[in-house]
Amino acid sequence: MILASFVIPIPFALYPLFGKPMGISMVGDVDTWCWISKAHAVYQIYLWFAILWIIFVINLLILAATIWAIKKNEKALKQPVHKMSFGTYVQRRMLAYLIGFVIVWTPSSLNRIAQIALGYPVYTLGIMQALVSPTRGFIDFCAYFYSWWYSPANIRDRKMSVDQDLGLDKKKGKTLNIQKSTQTLRKSPSIDPNDALFSTETLNKAEKTRKFSDVPTTGSRKFSADIPHSGSRKFSADIPLENKRATSYGDYMSDSRIFSPDGSDPNVSK
């Protein structure tokens, strides 16, 4: 597809250079917009604007077919269409591209057709084309930015970022008091492998997140971590100290026992 986009335009670019319809060269003064001579002004439409609008119509038909397919699938699945649905996003993204195309190329097309039909330039259309043509890159940027900003993945990431900043737990309907730290499991100096041993399950869960809260040095120690789970749940718990060399971190999930350096379980009375 990429190769075709470079190969197919080659004949249309070379024909005006070497072609001589009616024995007259197509190369003329550049004028304001195009170097094809006025004697062959109709080729300005054939070799550029006609192709552009044919592609526009094809894209319009693809958009209509896409909307029809999405509506059909959502109806079959009995899923109501809402503003956050993927199908709606696809429709809006494709529509943004088409709207951008219309804004960019309508003044230029009208100006070129008017010049050919009337035989002289139309000042108003020329001004419109002069104003719109330099903004093509900006309008394309707006269409692509809209497509990226309202993508389901980006909306989800922004929402999760806000929830994390607020410490909001939607399921419980309250704010969790979670202290975050930039220390990691492997690089944190507060974790001494000689102090204690984590259980295998605890290590696996902690390894995935590798972010822990700071803990006090006396009394019951606070543990807080983001456990990768459905919905990215956050847990917090107070872990009592079992001995002087107890670990600084524990796990609120299952199998969160704290082991002594010798491998014995201090939770089990001897």
Q: Summarize the confidence of residues 12-37 as an average pLDDT.
A: 78
- Amino acid letter at 30? V
DSSP H or E run through 239: strand 234-239
pLDDT for 204: 52
Q: pLDDT grade, residue 205 (50/70/90)?
A: low
Question: 45-49, 123-127, 136-140, 248-252: which range is least confident on average?
Answer: 248-252
Tell me the per-residue pLDDT of 122-154, one tens digit each, with 9 for 90 and over.
Answer: 899 989 999 998 998 999 899 888 888 887 777
Q: What is the pLDDT of residue 139?
A: 92
Work out the mean pLDDT of the chain and round it to a whole number.
68
For residue 244, pLDDT beyond 80: no
Q: What is the mean pLDDT of residues 43-61?
A: 90
Q: Which residue bears the tokens 């958009």? A: 63
Per-residue pLDDT, averaged over 230-240, amounts to 45
Higher pLDDT, 179 or 70: 70
Residue 57 reports pLDDT greater than 90: yes
DSSP state of 224: E
Helix residue spans in the chain (DSSP H): 2-7, 9-18, 42-44, 50-76, 86-118, 123-132, 136-149, 152-166, 200-209
Q: Where are the domains of the chain?
A: 11-157, 171-270
Spatial separation of the C-alpha atoms in residues 242 and 266, rounded to whole Å: 6
Dist CA 42 CA 34 (whole Å): 12
Provide the whole-model pTM: 0.51
CA distance 120 to 29: 16
Q: Which residues contact 26 (CB under 8 A, 6 or more apart)?
A: 15, 16, 17, 19, 20, 36, 37, 40, 43
State the angle between helix axes of 86-118 and 136-149 in degrees (0 to 180), rounded to the nearest 10. Answer: 170
Q: Which residues neighbour 86 within 8 Å (Cβ) at sequence distance 6 or greater? A: 152
- Residues of the chain with pLDDT > 70: what percent? 55
DSSP designation for 169: E
**What own/partner pairs with CB < 8 Å and gap ≥ 24 does 167-170 have?**
167/234, 169/234
The pLDDT assigned to 85 comes to 60
**Planar angle of CA 207, 209, 210, nearest 5 degrees:** 65
pLDDT of 212 above 90: no
